[in-house]
Every structure is written in C-alpha cells, then in structure tokens.
Structure 1
C-alpha cells in the first residue's frame, strides 16, 4: 500500500509529476506544479474522504470530498458534513461545480479560476479548523480519488489530486 510519505517523496521527481499533472498544455501544468512543490517548505500529501458522489453516466462521476492537511478528518465533522454535502449535491448541479484539480492550484480558485465563482461546496469547509471541502470531477477511468498533494505558499493553499500514486 502506498503511503503519504512515499507519494510526497515521488512528487520531488518531475517525471512523476508529469505522469500525474502533465497533459495537453505541453506539460506546462506539470512544470509549474513541480516548481511550486520544490520551492515550498510547507507541503505534503493527505487522503481525501468522499462525502457524496453522483454518477451521471458515461464516465461522468462527480464527488464532494473533504480533507485536512494532516490526513485525519474527525468523525464528528464527517457525520455533520455528509448530509450537508448530499443535500447540496441534490439541490444544485454538482456537474457545474466539479473541478479536476490536475495540477497544484489554489483550492478555492484564487479568484482567477472559474471554480472561485462557484463557492457553494467549498463553503462547507471549516478552514479555521483545517477542514476543507472540494467538489471534484473525476478523471475518466482512473477510479475514486484518494490522494491529494498540497502546498501552502504566501498564505494560499494549492491542491492537486494524485490519481496515479
């Protein structure tokens, strides 16, 4: 079984980031993520906990997940967040809110990414307690998202899902 520490060590290798964060933009995302990862001192890997999921068919699966930077979301918090995420997923279109997080970028969009204009699921977060909630659009064929890389730089939390640990 892969551990958080093993994945974090692999993220130092550009080739590993290229496999996870590369793509159609000529690996610009992987290069930017690798540079951010390497210069940051406050970084790590944590596990995601799925709060709810919706399968819209034909590989269109969306999740609402939560995480803390140390990997442990308290059970009481999970018990409170699950029904809230479920209700919200039923009341608004989760497909319009899901995001792929395929490179290290601001967890809240940082005002520059369209996700910043859709705060409903992130509003379930308890950032002051270190508990974050994100809506995720799964990458087709890669299964349930489990691992999340994070970097804190300049007070901004950047995240990316690691699908291929």
Structure 2
C-alpha cells in the first residue's frame, strides 16, 4: 500500500508529476506544479474523505470530499459533513460545481479559476478546525480519488488530486 510519505517523495520527481498532472498545453500544468512543489517548504500529501458521490452515468462521477493537511478528518466532523454534503447535493447541481484539481492550484480557485465563483461546497469547510471541503469531478477511468497533494505558498493553499500514486 502506498503511503503519504512515499507519494510526497515521488512528487519531487518531475516525471511523476508529468504522469499525474501532465497532458495538454505541452505539460505546462506539470511544470507549474513541479515548480510550486519544489519551492514550497510547507507541503505534503493527505488522504481524502469522501462525503458523498453522484454518478450521472457515462463516466460522469462527482464527489464531495473533505481533507485536513495533517491526516484524517475527525469522525465526529465526518458524520456532520456527510449530512450537510448530502443535503446540499440534493439542492444544488453537483455537476455545475465539480472541479478536477489536476495540478497544484488554489484550493478555492484563487479568484482566477471559475470554481472560485462556486463556493457552496467549499463553504462546508471548517478552517478553524483545519477541515477543507471540495467538490470533485472525477477523471474518466481513474477510480475513486484518495490522495491529495498540497503546497502552501504565502497564505494560498494549493491542491491537486493524485490519481496515480
């Protein structure tokens, strides 16, 4: 089984980031993520806790997940967040809120990515307790998202889902 420390060590290698965050734009996403990862002193890998999932068919799967930077989300918070995420997903179209997080970028969109204009699911977060909530659009055929890389630059938390640990 892959561990958080093993994934974090692999992220130092550009080829690993290229495999996870590469693709279109001549691997610009992987280059930018690798540069951010290598210059950040506050970084790591954590495990996602899925709060709810919706499968809309034809590979269109969306999740709402919670995470903390230092490990697992406390059980008492998970049960509350699951209820809130389910209720919100029943009221709001999760498909319009899901984001792929395929390279290290601001967890809240940073005001520059369209996801920053869709804060409903992130509003379930509990920053005072170190708990962040994100809506995820799964990549086709990658399976359930489990690992999340993070790097803090200044006050900005940047995240990316690591689908291929």
Alignment TM-score, normalising by the size of structure 1: 0.99
C-alpha offsets along residues 82-137 of structure 1, whole Å, 9 cap, x if unaligned? Answer: 01000101101000000000000000000000000000000000012100000000
Q: What residue in structure 2 maps to residue 46 of structure 1?
A: 46
Q: What residue in structure 2 maps to residue 95 of structure 1?
A: 95
* Distance of 2:135 and 2:71 partners within structure 1: 18
Runs of at least 4 residues of structure 1 off by over 2 A? none
**Residue pairs, 1:130-141, within 5 angstroms:** 130-141=130-141
Q: What residue in structure 1 maps to residue 120 of structure 2?
A: 120
* Distance of 2:56 and 2:71 partners within structure 1: 29
* Distance of 1:24 and 1:35 partners within structure 2: 17
Give the superposition deviation at 1:158.
0.2
Match of 2:101, SS? coil
* Distance of 1:122 and 1:102 partners within structure 2: 17
Q: What residue in structure 2 maps to residue 37 of structure 1?
A: 37
CA contact (8 A) 2:59 2:141 kept: yes
**Residue pairs, 1:18-29, within 5 angstroms:** 18-29=18-29
List runs of 5+ in structure 1 lacking aligned partners: none
* Distance of 2:122 and 2:136 partners within structure 1: 11
Give the superposition deviation at 1:32.
0.2
* Distance of 1:112 and 1:79 partners within structure 2: 32
CA contact (8 A) 2:68 2:131 kept: yes
**Residue pairs, 1:45-64, within 5 angstroms:** 45-64=45-64
List runs of 5+ in structure 2 lacking aligned partners: none
* Distance of 1:49 and 1:91 partners within structure 2: 21
Give the superposition deviation at 1:11.
0.1
Alignment TM-score, normalising by the size of structure 2: 0.99
Q: CA RMSD in A?
A: 0.4
Pair 1:5-2:15 in alignment: no
* Distance of 1:90 and 1:21 partners within structure 2: 31
**Across the two proteins, how many residue pairs are aligned to each other?**
165
CA contact (8 A) 2:20 2:164 kept: yes
* Distance of 1:9 and 1:29 partners within structure 2: 19
